[in-house]
Amino acid sequence: MLINKIINGNSLNVLKKIEDNSIDLVFTSPPYFNLRNYSTSDEEIGREESVDEYIEKLIDIMRECCRIVKKSGNIIINIGDKHKDLSLLLIPYRFAIKSLEELPLILVNDIIWSKLNPTPSPNKKRLVSSKEPLFHFALSSKNTYNISEFQKNNIKKVKNKSKNIGKGYFKLIEESNLTEKEKNNAKKEIEKTIKEIEYGKICSFRMKIRGIHALAYGGQKGGRNTQIQNNGFTIIKMNGESMKKDVIEYPVETIKGTNHPAIYPQEMVEDLILLLSNEGDIILDPFIGSGTTAFAAIQTGRKFIGIDINNDFCKSAKEKIGKLIKEKNNLLF
């Protein structure tokens, strides 16, 4: 098997040469239907005349993925939708339903990628499209699922971003008519709550301060209204870590040195690779494009196989990945 290689060729033909039960995770985003041409080849997926034909070709790819992925493995596939006139075609969901009907797959999650910087729409009769689904399929209930690794990685991010958490409340406390003792107690409680966020015990919080925030209408005796009246404040903690949600937020990215027009965020791929594979596992992307999946695999200590029909994309990705591998000095390209 060509481990840590990017292969220029027809994805379906290359997949057929890979041995059964040898891949731990497939992570990919195929060309979208009739959106843009990524190559001059007539074999390129996305140029079909009908949505049904497009989905059938994707099902052929998925069929091979089911064969080569281990029973403990996972498949993540990101597909964008398309409008015809004013109507959405619902291509991603038609694909997901067809996959479940024809292939031995479990749909674990329909993860929604919420784009922080979506492309504005020229059409004034619909809202800006700012989300895309990532379908998480598994072949069995024994699939790899490392929620603790996922959480640890997310907690690191929260710690990095936690410097500004609660700053607005500190200012409001100073501006309030609370006594000095109440102000000091409120500040101490905010500091303790921020620590809980940093360690992943809660995902967020809100504070209500006497004289600034309105009391809850019809609040129960002994509840938050009483806390505000007696202590000058109350803190409302939001339980449940953000990394457990099926809506994830990342910006659309561009990678310098590549000529690919549609790149999903490397951070998002890294997060899901940590969740759905183990160190040393093999990650395969049948539509490698700019090489984002390979980059993410290297950064998380995994091996990779990339396939793309566009030779220019392959060359560009090889160059960038080659530099990264030399920096890492732990893989041979």
Least confident segment among 33-47, 98-112, 152-166: 152-166
Q: 90 is written with which tokens? A: 């619902």
Closest residue by Cα to residue 65 from 144, 140, 138, 142:
138
Structural domains of the chain in order of their starting residue, each with its CATH number: 5-144+246-328 (3.40.50.150), 162-241 (no CATH)
**pTM for this model (two decimals):** 0.75
- pLDDT tens digits along 216-273: 655 555 588 899 999 999 999 876 554 468 998 888 865 444 454 457 899 999 999 9
According to the model, what pLDDT value does residue 217 have?
54
Q: How far is CA 87 from CA 97, 126, 233, in A?
A: 19, 10, 49
Least confident segment among 34-43, 154-163, 272-281: 154-163
Mean pLDDT, the chain, whole residue set: 87
How far is it, in rounded angstroms, from Cα 132 to Cα 130?
7
Contacts of 290 (CB under 8 A, 6+ apart): 255, 258, 260, 263, 313, 316, 317, 320
- pLDDT tens digits along 11-51: 999 999 999 999 999 999 999 998 765 555 667 899 999 99
What 8-state DSSP symbol labels residue 210? T
Contacts of 206 (CB under 8 A, 6+ apart): 235, 236, 238
Of all residues in the chain, the percent with pLDDT exceeding 70 is 84
